[in-house]
Amino acid sequence: MQRVIAMLLVLAAMGWGTASAMVFGVGPMLGEPMGLTAQVFPSKGIALVGGVGYSWWQDTSTQIQGDLIFTGHNLTSNRHEEGAMAAYMGLGAQARLSGDPGNPTVRSGLRMPLGIIYMFPGNPALGLYLEADPRFNLGTDQYLSCDAVCGLRIYWGSVGD
């Protein structure tokens, strides 16, 4: 798990070199899991998303997740006046920690986030998103499941048109 976190940090740091085209956002995610999320757009159409949350549905656990997101074409005609709306999909990983804090059970899974995001115009901008996350759980108990979240993020930065 430390390798996954280190890899996500390296990927995020690679994007910091393009600060003129960088957009960074943070905010809460509500649903399954509930927690905090951060998103960075190192270039137009690509985003790195990370989150930490608490799962309350089937297995109460703390979840850590990271995704590489590919954002589609802007669905609004003038993003400076109307805001920007786009559909997205991606690939990622998730680790779930449950049980005794001294001896936690760690489970992992592969994710495929599918969602839609709307960013209101302005800087900082407010962004709303709705996302479904089909997941293939790895390990001895392999099965398919799905998480669903919605939330908002406050974004700083600008992206070229």
The 10s digit of each residue's pLDDT in 71-108 is: 887 777 776 777 888 899 999 999 988 877 777 788 89
pTM given for the model: 0.77
Secondary structure (3-state) at 119: strand
- The mean pLDDT value for 56-81 works out to 82
- Separation in Å, CA 7 to CA 23, 64, 93: 20, 14, 12
Count of domains forming the chain: 1
Question: Radius of gyration of the chain from Cα atoms?
Answer: 16
Distance separating alpha carbons of residues 38 and 26, to the nearest angstrom: 4
- The mean pLDDT value for 23-50 works out to 92
Question: Which residue range(s) make up the domain with 107?
Answer: 2-157
Secondary structure (3-state) at 157: strand
Distance separating alpha carbons of residues 157 and 18, to the nearest angstrom: 11
Q: Find out whether 55 and 29 touch, Cβ atoms under 8 Å.
A: no
CATH of the domain at 98: 2.40.160.20
Q: Find out whether 112 and 131 touch, Cβ atoms under 8 Å.
A: no
Output the pLDDT for position 23.
Answer: 84
More confident residue, 83 or 114: 114
Q: Prior bond to 101 cis, omega within 30?
A: no
